Amino acid sequence: MQFGFLGISYQTADLKMREQAAFTDEKKMEFFHMAEEAGVDQCMILSTCNRSEVFYLFEETDQADQIYRLYQEMFSEADLGQYIRRGQGEETVVYLFRVAAGLESMVAGEDQILGQVKQAFEFSRMMGACKKELNKIVRDALTCAKKIKSELKISEKPLSVGYIGIQKLNETCKIRGKTVLMIGSGTTAALVLQYLQEYGAGKIFLCSRTYAHAGNLQKQMKHLVVVPYHERYQIMKACDIVISATSAPHLVVKSCDFQPQKPLVFLDLAAPRDIDPSFDSDPDTILIHLDTLKEIAEKNQKERIRLVKESDQFIQEAKDETLHWLKISRMDGTIQSLQERCREISEDSYRYLSRKMDLNDREKRLLQKVLHASLQRLLREPIQELKHLDTREEQEAYQKMVHQLFRIEEKERSL
């Protein structure tokens, strides 16, 4: 049995193409059904905004080709051929481990993908498309990802300018309990407002030229106090922190219009600048701007790259353990049959001896244990040999030999 994958991702296809290859739950169920008819009864579909991929276990090369055709037919309206990436064996195990750890994500080390892999795994299990082998591979991938995240903490090196800005702001002036003015109501401002909540900011004022946008944010965050844009200077007098993130082509906070009467920290997240650079020389103010944050982001990016390389060792170790388990799992059926035969012989011998000998209950239990332990000891070395067979050809030859030597009836094998 081999492990394979195919699909598209942000690495091979643009957003428009990825949107055309997105799996709905209904399409996932349909794909599972068609894959089972093709002889592939174990697969997992990972469908996110950045990837549309199928991980599956197969016996014959023809089955892998059928999965490829099914994937193309599922999205026949899109010409996916040149964008589809395929892999199998060790390459696929490594790839899934890297995906789960966020090492194949657009932002290296991001956390969201781990939850998405868990959801894909649970959906596969719910649909009956996950058995022993796929269950083992995916669980090992999730365990490895958690180990990488807990020990290397890649995601704790933020790259988002907004988040880096808030972190820097908190280092400069503890945010908790502080009064803040947020100027702007776009995407960046919305994220910054969420971060301010997480850091425990006190009263938060919001002003924007687009009052409707500010109103929408207020509906989402009831604690916000929306004020008219033209009153921003008056509000600043009561604030400890002023953050600006607008798309204005000019300064929105000018030193000629506002002179701080107490210590004030400015965070300027706009390009071009929103806040007058001359505040940087004012003894009552601290100005944090994009150039400062860019340096931190670049440093974090380099550190993430270093940590991603360091994570390769975790991946390799986990991958080797998983591949070894997959290899010996092919012999599980034979080993189980051998142990069952051992148990049958042990019980037959016990029944015969207990009839011939006058034993009390304690002696009977002891006899039963000795017989079973003796036969298990006899089988221990042969079983270890079976577990260390390297090739499929060797495994099949030994399986046949064991069944003949021990007269074991043919049972379904876990291959």
Q: Could you list the residues known to form a binding site for substrate, using ranges.
A: 48-51, 105, 110-112, 116
Q: Characterize the bridge pairing of strands 264-268 and 285-288.
A: parallel
Annotated binding site: 48-51, 105, 110-112, 116, 184-189
> CA 154, CA 1: separation in Å to the nearest integer?
34
Annotated binding site for NADP(+): 184-189
> CA 414, CA 397: separation in Å to the nearest integer?
15
- Respond yes or no: is residue 144 known to be catalytic: no
Q: Please say whether the beta carbons of 165 and 195 come within 8 A.
A: no
SS3 256: coil
> CA 254, CA 257: separation in Å to the nearest integer?
5
Q: Characterize the bridge pairing of strands 204-207 and 180-183.
A: parallel
Catalytic pick among 49, 207, 239, 342: 49
State in Å, rounded, how far the first CA of the chain is from the last one.
Answer: 6
* Token code pair at residue 396: 């099949």
Angle of CA points 261, 267, 268, to nearest 5°? 115
Q: Please say whether the beta carbons of 56 and 67 come within 8 A.
A: yes
> Residue 67's CB: how many other CB atoms inside 10 A?
23
Going from the C-alpha of 46 to that of each of 51, 52, 166, 374, the distances in angstroms are 7, 6, 33, 49
Q: Which residues contact residue 208 at a Cβ distance below 8 angstroms, ignoring those fewer than 6 apart? A: 183, 184, 185, 189, 214, 229, 246
> CA 400, CA 295: separation in Å to the nearest integer?
65
Q: What residues act catalytically?
A: 49
